[in-house]
Chains A and B, each alone.
Chain A
Amino acid sequence: MGNTSLADLLDAPAGPGLPKAPTGIAGLDQITGGGLPRGRVSLVAGSAGAGKTLLGLEFLVAGARQYGEPGVLVSFEESAAKVALNARSLGFDIDALQRDGLLVVLSFQVEPSEVITTGAFDFEPLFLLLSEAVRRIGAKRVVLDTIEVLFGAFGDDATVRAELTRLARWLEDQGVTVIVTGERGEKGLTRRGIEEYVTDCVILLDHRVRDEISTRRLRVVKYRGSAHGTNEYPFLISAQGLIVLPITSITLDYAASEERISTGVDRLDHMLGGGLLRGSTALVTGTAGTGKTSLGAHLVNSACGRGEPALWVLFEESPAQVLRNMRSIGLDLKKWVDAGLLRIWAARPSAFGLETHLAILYQLIEEVSPSVAVLDGVAGLAHGSATLESASMMARQLDLLKARGITTLVTSLGHEDEAATMTVSSLVDNWLLLRNIETNGERNRLLFVLKSRGTAHSNQVREFVLTDHGVELVEVYVSAAGMLVGSARLAQEAAERVADVQEADDRDRRLRELRGKIAEQEAHIVASQDQLAAKRAEIDRIDLRERRQAAVAKADRSTMATRRWADPVPSNGGQS
């Protein structure tokens, strides 16, 4: 399939004129591009308890209720009463459907111990019953569950095989869509090789138990004449029946939003260039007690504060515990729960297999339609299974959330060098690392932004402080002695305050000194100018005296001339 997305698959023509009968199981109809081949026989193979009967039942019930196609269930394993009981536990009222003429249940319990075969036989009674039922209610769907029981019971498998083949062809001639269920075999798909003569569509249900945790998967092994998803799809048997998750983890066609939404921690928003991009995913890793859950709580709180629904999935703590803990740092999340904005789901990782967790997540997303989701403590998921598996499951979870534009925060216990974390980290858009550092006999929390796609993010380390009013990020002091956090930071702050005062004092003193010097110099200047002025005055005085003396001398001469009766002189001056 290459990178063909599911959407492409669904758009692709499903073979020329190949009509399909929807199973009513949404995910399965999506994978098969509309359901099972109409008027053909499909094989559903799986081990005991894999969900074969349930799939058949849903197919019949959906046909009867939704698609106007009555059906016949032929059970070779369980009594009619037991079939009805099992169906009721899944919310199907088989009795009502039978009363309404939409369903016929035929049950044959074949006990090999009470059957002896002597010579040739055929399954004519089965044909008779089926044709009578098909005619009576106009059945369009038939489920044969599980025909494998017939092998061995009659001691003559060649005849059984021939008869079943004849039955399949006969049903196809009636235009009936058939599901045949078969037991998973050691070598082939089924123990008796039913897949060899049911050639149109084969669906394999798998139920694995690993490390005491069960996981269910569905795979369309073969679908003649139709494109189909070939992956293993996880599925879940819920109270509503089968839930198949039509998830591909390889599609990379998300819409990329430019909108940023707040993490609920102002300075973190700032470090991330304004917040998380809407629809992006963030991973928060850190060791125990570094404040991962609190970060998640902030994101959830801020989303609900904007009136957006949020989903909070807890793998390590109970909802009550988390609500209480968050109250202690000043976050009241209960009001959002009460307001119906916040949905908290808690499940131990070991409670279900990875697929089931995924299926539950799918279901929760369907129900809540959150704008923000926080998956708290996913590392716990990895403990139950192999790293590769959990990483692939993580990818599917993130894919699921991302495809719907849900901004997601995943918190995980771990270190940046762990393989599992590495794998997950390549799938996320943002990676925040919380780390405890131990200095001066105390532990303090630091926050780094290791990665933030599409963001010119801060390369700064911040100290992460949990206060009674939530998370706060504080500058970290980096000195020659290393980073200063916690008390050391406080001490440094105090020291800096002292230094500030001293510096102010020094400045004042220096200013005073300088001002004094300036005053001194100015005084000097005044004094010099005085001297200069005095010297200039002296010069003036000397000039004046000289002129006076000259005038006096002239006057004297004039007086003497008068006295001597000398020639008159002009009377222009000096006469006193």
Chain B
Amino acid sequence: MSQPRPQDGGTGTAADSGQTWDLRLYVTGQSPNCVRAIENLRLTCEEHMPGRYRIEVVDLLENPRLAADDQILAVPTVVRRLPSPIRKIVGDLSDTERLLVGLQVRPPARTAS
């Protein structure tokens, strides 16, 4: 279910340094939280970093052991694999502000990058 869609975009945020986001979203089937999370994540990415993100959705129902291997305790969880360091964003991603902070798409002003 991966959707690589690299694309250049130029908004005034820190995200415009040619960086791409490698994201993995862990879900368990079609639970309401998970369905919402997939939707929220795509919307947010499309809006703030169009073309510069890749989302891989992993359904733990198909392979529960991945949860142990990847240390996923709660769903839905987005793992930001790139840019490093690895970050985990847990929840249905309904809080877009927090999601962006987690993705470091809109870093706090003090961080210059």
Chain A partners chain B: yes
Using a CB–CB cutoff of 8 Å, the interface residues on chain A facing chain B are: 106-110, 114-126, 128-129, 132, 150, 154, 156, 163
Q: Which residues of A contact B71 (CB under 8 A)?
A: 108-109
Decide if B64 touches A129 in the complex (CB within 8 Å).
Answer: yes
Q: Which residues of B contact A124 (CB under 8 A)?
A: 28, 31, 60, 74-75
Closest to B85 in A: A114
Query: Measured between alpha carbons, how far is A122 from B72 in the docked complex, in Å?
Result: 11
Contact A114 to B94, CB < 8 A, known contacts A122-B33, A124-B60, A126-B73 = no
B5 within 8 A of A: no
Decide if B68 touches A154 in the complex (CB within 8 Å).
Answer: no
Q: Which residues of B contact A110 (CB under 8 A)?
A: 73
Query: Measured between alpha carbons, how far is A156 from B91 in the docked complex, in Å?
Result: 10
Query: Measured between alpha carbons, how far is A123 from B101 in the docked complex, in Å?
Result: 23
Query: Measured between alpha carbons, how far is A126 from B95 in the docked complex, in Å?
Result: 24
Decide if B68 touches A121 in the complex (CB within 8 Å).
Answer: no
How close is A132's CB to chain B, nearest CB, in angstroms? 5
Question: A117, A118, A128, A163: which has the most chain B beta carbons within 10 Å?
Answer: A118
Can you identify 15 A-B contacts, CB atoms within 8 angstroms?
Answer: A108-B68, A114-B86, A114-B88, A116-B101, A118-B89, A119-B36, A119-B93, A119-B95, A120-B91, A121-B75, A121-B91, A123-B74, A125-B64, A128-B67, A129-B64
Across the interface, B93 reaches (CB within 8 A) one of A106, A118, A123, A125, namely: A118
Query: Measured between alpha carbons, how far is A107 from B75 in the docked complex, in Å?
Result: 17
Q: Which residues of B contact A126 (CB under 8 A)?
A: 67, 73-74
Decide if A114 touches B87 in the complex (CB within 8 Å).
Answer: yes
Q: Which residues of A contact B75 (CB under 8 A)?
A: 121-122, 124-125
Closest to A104 in B: B68
Decide if A118 touches B85 in the complex (CB within 8 Å).
Answer: no
Decide if A128 touches B90 in the complex (CB within 8 Å).
Answer: no
Query: Measured between alpha carbons, how far is A156 from B64 in the docked complex, in Å?
Result: 24
B42 within 8 A of A: no
Across the interface, B102 reaches (CB within 8 A) one of A118, A125, A150, namely: A118
Q: C-beta contact mask, B41-83 vs A, less than 8 Å → 1, else 0?
A: 0000000000000000000110011011001111111000000
Decide if A154 touches B28 in the complex (CB within 8 Å).
Answer: no
- Determine the interface band of chain B, counting residues with CB < 8 A from chain A: 35 or more
Q: Which residues of B contact A118 (CB under 8 A)?
A: 89-96, 98-99, 102
How close is A174's CB to chain B, nearest CB, in angstroms? 15
Decide if B74 touches A125 in the complex (CB within 8 Å).
Answer: yes
Using a CB–CB cutoff of 8 Å, the interface residues on chain B facing chain A are: 26, 28, 31, 33, 36-37, 40, 60-61, 64-65, 67-68, 71-77, 85-96, 98-99, 101-102
How close is A444's CB to chain B, nearest CB, in angstroms? 76
Q: Which residues of A contact B101 (CB under 8 A)?
A: 116
Contact A154 to B74, CB < 8 A, known contacts A122-B31, A125-B64, A128-B67 = yes
Decide if A132 touches B64 in the complex (CB within 8 Å).
Answer: yes
Question: A114, A116, A121, A124: which has the most chain B beta carbons within 10 Å?
Answer: A124
Decide if A119 touches B91 in the complex (CB within 8 Å).
Answer: yes
Query: Measured between alpha carbons, how far is A103 from B19 in the docked complex, in Å?
Result: 44
Closest to B60 in A: A125
Question: B33, B73, B99: which has the most chain A beta carbons within 10 Å?
Answer: B73
Q: Which residues of A contact B72 (CB under 8 A)?
A: 125
How close is B87's CB to chain A, nearest CB, in angstroms? 6
How close is B61's CB to chain A, nearest CB, in angstroms? 7
Query: Measured between alpha carbons, how far is A150 from B85 in the docked complex, in Å?
Result: 22
Question: B74, B94, B98: which has the most chain A beta carbons within 10 Å?
Answer: B74
Decide if B74 touches A120 in the complex (CB within 8 Å).
Answer: no
How close is B65's CB to chain A, nearest CB, in angstroms? 7
Query: Measured between alpha carbons, how far is A128 from B98 in the docked complex, in Å?
Result: 28
Q: Which residues of B contact A128 (CB under 8 A)?
A: 28, 60-61, 64, 67
Contact A116 to B102, CB < 8 A, known contacts A121-B92, A122-B33 = yes
Query: Measured between alpha carbons, how far is A128 from B60 in the docked complex, in Å?
Result: 8
Query: Measured between alpha carbons, how far is A381 from B91 in the docked complex, in Å?
Result: 56
Query: Measured between alpha carbons, how far is A443 from B81 in the docked complex, in Å?
Result: 84
How close is A121's CB to chain B, nearest CB, in angstroms? 5
Contact A116 to B90, CB < 8 A, known contacts A122-B33, A125-B26, A129-B65 = yes
Contact A132 to B65, CB < 8 A, known contacts A108-B73, A118-B99 = yes
Decide if A116 touches B94 in the complex (CB within 8 Å).
Answer: no
Q: Which residues of A contact B88 (CB under 8 A)?
A: 114-116
Contact A120 to B92, CB < 8 A, known contacts A128-B60, A129-B64, A132-B65 = yes
Closest to B100 in A: A118
Decide if A154 touches B86 in the complex (CB within 8 Å).
Answer: no
Across the interface, B92 reaches (CB within 8 A) one of A109, A114, A119, A150, namely: A119
Closest to A115 in B: B88
Query: Measured between alpha carbons, how far is A2 from B67 in the docked complex, in Å?
Result: 52
Q: Which residues of A contact B77 (CB under 8 A)?
A: 121
